[in-house]
Structure formats: C-alpha cells, structure tokens
Chain A
C-alpha cells in the first residue's frame, strides 16, 4: 500500500502510523453530552467500501486523512488534516 503524503509525495505505508477513523477530527465540545463523547471515542462504522481514516507520516510529522476503499484497497484521496 502506498499513500501520497501531502508534504512528501507517494510513500510506502511502512512510513506511516495508523490512528483510526477520521471521526477523530470532529471533537465534541467540552460540555457535549456523554453520548456525543461516546460516539466520538468509541463508535465506529466498519464499511465495506469507502472509508476515511487518519495516518501519521512519521518522517515529516504530517497527519493525513486518507480516503480509501476497503474492498479494492484503492487510495482515493490523501489530504493533510490541517
């Protein structure tokens, strides 16, 4: 698998550390109710098809949101989260 780091270009997946679903980007407000935090922290879809998740490119420190297909393994898009 190869991911295109927005900073460094296409790189081998061994250079990346996987974190989890891109849902982690949508942090609830501090006073959001418990179910919102439960959703954010623990509840994830497990799609057969398109998914978006977060990868850290260790050499450059860029967090990358990768859109990919879990069935075909196609990497559809990779963009910096910031």
Chain B
C-alpha cells in the first residue's frame, strides 16, 4: 500500500483486512470504506459511466457518490450499485466493477463515447420514433439491454431484513458538530433523543476537516461527546442509519445498515427499515460540496475537495500531487489544510481575480481548469490563467464549486427552498416541515463555531417549545471563518463538461434542452435525465439549474428546483418489505381439525387466510371428483362431518340486542324465541346484499350470529359502525368469538343418530326441532347445539370451546365412518349447497340485491333496516334485473363452468346480447347431472326456457334449461327431517 500517509487517519492499522476487487487481492484496514481502501491501493479507476462507458473514479467520500458504484459478491448473490464510499471494508469483501465488458480497463461499449455527438439529450426520442411497430418489439428490448448499471444475480434474495418502529421526543438527523450539540442539549435536558447518522462513525466533518474544538482535535471532541451521549439512558445513537424520508405527522423513514459491514453477520439482518415517530426533529444534515463543470472533469482522480480532505485526514490516503480548483473560501482553506497535512498542492486555481496569492502553494487567480489528461487516471491538469495555459502535473484534482445545504428532507412534504444569492445555494425556508428545525450547515451556517452554536440554540428552542427545561451549556470554542463565494458553474472552453456524472449529462445537453424548448426545470430534467440516477443529482442538480438559468436568461431563483422526493438515498425493497414474505405476507389460520385433516391425506385449499380440506381421498379414488361424488352421496344417504369453524361468529348481548339485530338484518330478529335460530340477510346501506348467516337466540338478551368466512371482518366493522354511528346509546355489546369456538356440521339422514352418540342428553325431533339451538353437554364439555343445515339434509352443528375441537372432530369422524359416513371437504360442501340452491359469496358478490336472489320477501315491511330504503329504489327490483336461477344442461353430462355467460339460443356471444352469467357449477351425483347457479335477466319468469351457456375461455357452448335454483328436495322435507 504505497498510497497511505504513515500514521495518519482514523483507521485501525493493527487490523489489516484482505479484500478483492475485480479478482485482484488488496489490503485495507478496519475503519476503511471500500473507496478509501481502493484509493490507498492506488486504484483510481473503479467504474464505467452509464451511457458513454467512460472510465470513472471516486468523486465523493459520502452517500451522494455518483460514480463509484460496484457489485458486492456474496456466494452466488450479487448486490449491484453499492456505493464504494458507503460500503465499509471487511475481511473477505469481494467486489467487482460493473457496466463494462470484457474488463474495466478495456470496455467495448466505450465506443459509445465516440458517437457522443449523436447520443446527446433527446437522442432516444428523436431516433426511435419510427416505425411505430418497432417500439415494443425492437427498440425497447434493445435499449433495455444496453441500459442499466449493475446486474442482479437472478436468484431469490434469501438475506434477512428487518423493519422496526421507534418513538422519541427529538430526532436529531446528522451527527456532525451541529447534530452532536443538539443531541447533547436535548439529552442533558432529559428528552428522549434519537441521534441518527448515516456514517459508521459519528462526527461528520469533524472527522474529515478535523478542526480544533474546545482545544481538542475534532475527532477527539466528537468521541468525548459521543461517550457522554452513549451513557445517557434517554439517548439512542443510531449509526449507519440514513433518514430517507419525511412523512406526515412527524413520521420518518430510516434505513439502517445492520450487517452489511460484517464478514460474518451471524443472525443480524442485512438492513433494518425504521419508522421513527418524533415529536420534534432537528435536521443537522450538513452540506454537500458540488463540483465544477469543466472539460473532462470526469476523469478518475477528479474529486470533490472535501472528499480529498476526508481521504487524507480520516483515512490517511496519499492523493499524490493535488490541484485544487474552487470558487470559494472553503476551497482555498482545503488547499491550506492539505498543505498543512503534508500533501503537495501543485496549484490553487480560482476564477476569482482577487484571491490571495500569499500562500505556500502556487495560486492562479482568475484561473480556470480547461482540461485534463490521463487515459484511465489523471496525469495532467490544464489551467488557463492570465499568463496563458499551464499544464500542471497532478494525480488528483480537487473541485469545489461551493456547498449545497442538505435540505432534501425539508422538501419531502412539498416545501420549496429559497435561493440565497450570498451563498449561491438553496436554503430551507422556515416551517417547511411542521415540527422540524433546520440547523447548522443544512441552513447555510458553514463555520464549525456557527454549527455548534446553531445546534445548541435550536435544540434549546425545541425543548422550550415542548415545555422541557434545558440547561445552559457553554459553547466550545472553534474556528469561525467566513465563507465567500463567487458563483461559477461551468468552464466555457469547448469539449464536454460533465454535470451529472451518474447519468452522463453535460452542460451541452442542458443547453440543448433549453434550446429545444425544454426550458422548465422539470422538462429539462426528464429530457436530459439530469438528476435521475441513483444519486438523484445530489452533487449536480444545482449546477445544472444554473446552466439552464444561464441558457434561458431567467436566473436561478426564477428557474426553481426540481422536486425532492423520498428516499434520500436508495432503499432496498427487501428492507421496506421486511417480514412480508411467506407467512409474514399471508398468515395461516388453521382449523382445530387441521392436523387430523392433513393426516387423512386431504389436500388443503385457501379460504381467505384459512386452510380448509378440499376432499378426503380414500383408497381406490383416482381423482378429486370421485372423492367428492362419494362424499356428497355419503351425506345424502348416511352422514357427513365437516369443520365449519371458519364461519364468522359474533356474540351479541344486551337488552337492546334484539332491536339492534333488527336494524342490521333485513328480517325480524326480535321475534325469535330463545332457543331458536333464524336465517338472516344483511344489506349494505346502498341496498345490495352484504352477507347472510344464522342468528341464534341463546337467551332473552343473548344472540350468536354467524357470518360467511370471507365477510367475518367486514361484518364486524359494519356492526360497529351502525352501533356507534346510529344507536350508540343502545345497550348492546358484541364481540367476535370466531376463534373461541370450534364448530362442526353433521349432515345426513343419520345426523341425529351421530349427534346423540356425543351428547349426554340425546335429542329427538320433538325436543330439539328444526332451527332449535341451545347449550349441550358434548363428550362431557359444555358446548352448543344448533339444528341447522347448509346441505339440505337433516343437519346439526355442534360447537365446543376451540381447545376441544381436535378431540371432538376425531371422535365425530370415527363414529361417522362406523355408520357408513365420514368427513367431507369443501368440494362436496359446494356441490351439496348448489343442489339446494344455497348461496355463497359467489352469488352475493356485492352487486346483487335481495330481489335478485329472490329474497325480497325477507326485507321486513314492519321495520327499518340498513339498506332497506335504497333496496326499494327504482332499478334495484324489476324484470330488467338479472335474477338467480338454476341451470341444468340438456345433456346431463355436459360440463358447466362458473364465469360463463348466458345468451339466447341463436344470439351471437356479444355484450349487447348478454342475458346473464354463471356463478357456481358442479356435478351432482345425486341428480346424475351437471348443475349451475347463475343470474339471468328476468330469470324467475323464464323457468323452463332453454338458454345457451357460453364459456369463451374454454370454448364451451352448452344448451341449458332454466329452472328454480333449488334442484334437490325443493319441499325441504329432508332438511327438516
């Protein structure tokens, strides 16, 4: 490592780390970033540019890096577009460059650079216009192949990610001098403080410029303050945490790099996405330096002056001979600091004519850098000055076009910053984000002393505002240099001068955009792609605006900025979606009978989040249809058992429970006698059917209602609304008990025989008639019994507390099997209910009325109910409505399908001829025929007619007879049995 200054930097030289870049092995130290370690090894060339594949090096020392994007390799996984300036070094880190082929030093696609005159702004829009047929088939695939930087591995990302919430009184964003002071003041006052900083080590510019603070070196002072903060129980320090977005109500998004810097992260997640809710925030994000656009300013070795300072002071990197090109006092100070650190400054170039020449290095007042040389790394800098053009030999060119306050977060809620002529930069306005104070360099106060003072002052303000008493804190002494700048954006010397390094946008592109009419800043951005790369133009947008303002003659203030949006830096989707995979995405709800059901070999199907058995296969059955047919016949001739616990159950109690249910249901529930059950229909207020179910009156003031599986949540919400909005003073309370009870349907001619095997007190047709309900002791457990049926056969449902569900199911299945019956699944349940014309959400799908399903008679004339008024409006009842009908194919073996549409026999299958549609279909082993339910225009008046079922998707046309929707036992004798 020849490019390290002995003894310098905050790296741990006792801990060397091996890493590899493009297959070559290098050594760095603990505390290095990948960028500093590469520079310390003399590697200047780290990537190829996006469009022209120009050789590029490291421009910055922070998260705003536009050039040094690399792929991190972990086994077979690749993480593309990792900023080398952010990635911390660890032993074994394996990295490769991207957007080059076959190698970084020789890249075939660099030929693009030769065609640059043809590839300027708007090239795609102008070139790929015709022929139109080529847009999607030729142009887009070709452009997509050529575009992009890094590549994904194509493998599933198995990495661990986390998301988390945090709350605090004061969130301090940025831990430079301003943020440290703000956190100290707030922390000492006892406020709950979160101090978040995107760097691995807190201190901000104190670590890089290393100004003296309170008589200590910057890093030492920062370390002392951090030690004090770390000892405070009310302060949480979050390093490696970038606050990426500001949202309403004091909510902040933040991305924490948790395990990405470790050789062996163990159980740690790679990243954690935080949602931080803060009563107040102090934005202390500092400022970002900007480069100057001059010809060939994108050569490896060209860096921001502040980055050169960071690499020298923090990482001990020797930059070789340095030319500094700046238009402001901070640039001159950088040249002085570098000299003081022992770096050879080959020249200080400043377009300002009045700049001091009494320095320890050559100064070129009124000078400009007009070009650079060096194929893959800087060798010479061409400086134009009063005396002509001089070629200065240098390995590093340090640029400083001034500083942009990092005000991005202040604009996330739509605020716009002000242009400050004195600073030649945008500064935040007051009150852009409610509850956020902007302090220090982030609002244009650039000296260390000003930052320390501002951080303390604003924290004190925030505390006072929150009613927290603060302590006086003496301000540490520090440099308080003034900052003067002469706006200077681009060198006019021919050639290409780069603004946006990441997207290869030059000053010419911006000027051309203006010329072609894209003179609004938002249009220019989209036309040139300025600021649209992963770095979002952090170091280039303002200069691009200035070049645009110059071209349009408008001035920067009138030109305005583009919109700052979250995230501030790229956030991986995996981190935002952490926990959203598999069961985190869709939790699984399992029946109490689940393990036995699976043990019986039943394939499970999803019903919402529930898993229910599709069918219970038996030996010799080759297809699901055979099992289903057998289960249906079993119910029709013996007895079947089915777990129906997924139905929503809501326990309703109180003296006003009955009239509340009258309001909720269309039919009268207050007239049910205790111990009886009634079928009920619910409407939405717009008159359409919401749900159906049963309502069992367990006592005078105690009801238990059921909902369909799918509507359990919405019905609960609806009942809460009706109660709270319209009759909050009624004495009624209700709660969901879906999970508390396991419930099983017993159906078939032998259902009573089966239920009596479990009941301590047997029932008969007289003492427990159809629609009875009540408490029952089931296998020694207090449960409930209901004489209801969803199959059309004699049916009971028994309910037991969920913890007994598995045992009861096991016993029921064993007893049923001994009686020639057994368990049945969803397929059979569906066929059974179709045979009976019972509806599910396939029929009550949200667009049907009580009239449509033939239940208008259930809308009681004696009382109001939700949806009653609207259900009677014109257009919701009448012959123009599509009404529920049964469909039987003329050829009983002709398969019917749900989703098919209905047409009159000779009409073509077009929209205007549509007569209705099929909602459910199945094969009925009972009737030895396919059956379907559907909606047919004026269907109840058309029983007996022949209609054509037309399934365009399956190419199926079947002549069907329109019938009453109850196919099986229409008189209901078996049901009441």
Contacts and interface: CB of A to CB of B under 8 A. Distances in A.
A45 B586 CA distance: 36
Contact of B248 (A27, A58, A73): A73
A80 B723 CA distance: 12
Contacts of A2: 248-251, 277
Contacts of A41: 685-686, 870
Interface string B714-758: 001100110111101000000000000000000000000000000
Contacts of B165: 12
A40 to B, nearest CB: 8
B864 A73 contact: no
Interface residues of A, number: 28
B873 A24 contact: no
Contacts of A61: 716-717, 720
B564 interface: no
B868 to A, nearest CB: 6
A1 interface: yes
Given A2-B248, A82-B728, A63 B720 contact: yes
A25 B868 CA distance: 17
Interface in A1-57: 1-2, 10, 12, 17, 19, 24-25, 27-28, 30-32, 34, 37, 41, 54, 56
Contact of B869 (A28, A56, A62, A75): A28
B434 interface: yes
A56 B725 CA distance: 12
A12 B275 contact: yes
A74 interface: yes
B873 A34 contact: yes
Q: Is the interface of B mostly helix, strand, loop or mixed?
A: mixed
A76 interface: no
A77 interface: no
Contacts, number: 64
B536 to A, nearest CB: 23
Interface string B696-721: 00000000000000000000110011
Contacts of A27: 685, 725-726
Contacts of B247: 1
B725 A37 contact: no
Contacts of A75: 249
A81 B870 contact: no
Contacts of B721: 19, 24, 54, 56, 63
Contacts of A17: 717
B725 A63 contact: yes
Nearest to B717: A56
Residue with the greatest number of chain A CB neighbours at <10 A, chosen from B277, B717, B725: B725
Scoring A1, A19, A56, A61 by chain B CB atoms within 10 A of each residue's CB, the highest score goes to: A61
Nearest to B719: A61
B763 to A, nearest CB: 36
Nearest to B434: A74
B413 interface: yes
A58 B247 CA distance: 22
A36 to B, nearest CB: 9
A34 B932 CA distance: 36
A34 B686 CA distance: 12
A81 B248 contact: no
Given A12-B275, A30-B869, A74-B434, A81 B685 contact: no
A32 B736 CA distance: 34
A82 B869 contact: no
Contacts of B686: 41
Contacts of B728: 81-82
Contacts of B868: 30
A82 B685 contact: no
Interface string B859-874: 0000010001110010
A20 B116 CA distance: 55
A17 B685 CA distance: 18
Contacts of A81: 724-725, 728
B413 A73 contact: yes
Contacts of B250: 2
A61 B723 CA distance: 11
Interface string B405-448: 00000000100000000000000000000100000000000000
* From A28, A32, A34, residue with most partner B Cβ within 10 Å: A34
Contacts of A80: 724
B249 A1 contact: yes
Contacts of A19: 721
Contacts of B725: 24-25, 27, 63, 81-82
A55 to B, nearest CB: 11
A42 to B, nearest CB: 8
A80 B720 CA distance: 12
Given A27-B726, A82-B725, A37 B720 contact: no
Contacts of A37: 869-870, 873
A78 to B, nearest CB: 11
B434 A63 contact: no
Given A12-B275, A41-B686, A1 B869 contact: no
A61 B733 CA distance: 12
A23 to B, nearest CB: 11
A32 B869 contact: yes
Most B CB within 10 A of own CB, among A17, A19, A37: A37
B434 A62 contact: no
A8 to B, nearest CB: 14
Nearest to A22: B725
A2 B275 CA distance: 12
A10 B716 CA distance: 23
B724 A63 contact: yes
A47 B434 CA distance: 22
B30 to A, nearest CB: 39
B249 A56 contact: no
A28 B723 CA distance: 16
A80 to B, nearest CB: 7
Nearest to A17: B717
A82 B723 contact: yes
Nearest to A57: B720
Nearest to A1: B248
Contacts of A25: 725
Contacts of A28: 869
Contacts of A73: 248-249, 413
A81 B869 CA distance: 23
A30 B249 CA distance: 40
A82 B873 contact: no
B864 A30 contact: yes
Contacts of B275: 12
Nearest to B685: A41
Interface string B608-624: 00000000000000000
A33 to B, nearest CB: 10
A9 to B, nearest CB: 11
Given A37-B873, A74-B434, A82 B249 contact: no
A25 B165 CA distance: 34
Nearest to A80: B724
A8 B723 CA distance: 19
Interface string B219-253: 00000000000000000000000000001111100
Nearest to B250: A2
B720 to A, nearest CB: 5
6 contacts: A2-B250, A25-B725, A61-B720, A81-B724, A82-B724, A82-B728
Given A12-B251, A28-B869, 19 more contacts: A2-B249, A2-B250, A12-B275, A17-B717, A24-B685, A24-B721, A27-B685, A30-B869, A31-B869, A37-B869, A37-B870, A41-B870, A56-B720, A61-B716, A61-B720, A63-B725, A73-B413, A81-B724, A81-B728
Interface of A: 1-2, 10, 12, 17, 19, 24-25, 27-28, 30-32, 34, 37, 41, 54, 56, 58, 61-63, 73-75, 80-82
Interface of B: 165, 247-251, 275, 277, 413, 434, 685-686, 716-717, 720-721, 723-726, 728, 864, 868-870, 873
Q: Which 7 A-B pairs have the closest CB atoms?
A: A82-B728, A2-B249, A82-B724, A73-B248, A1-B248, A30-B864, A63-B724
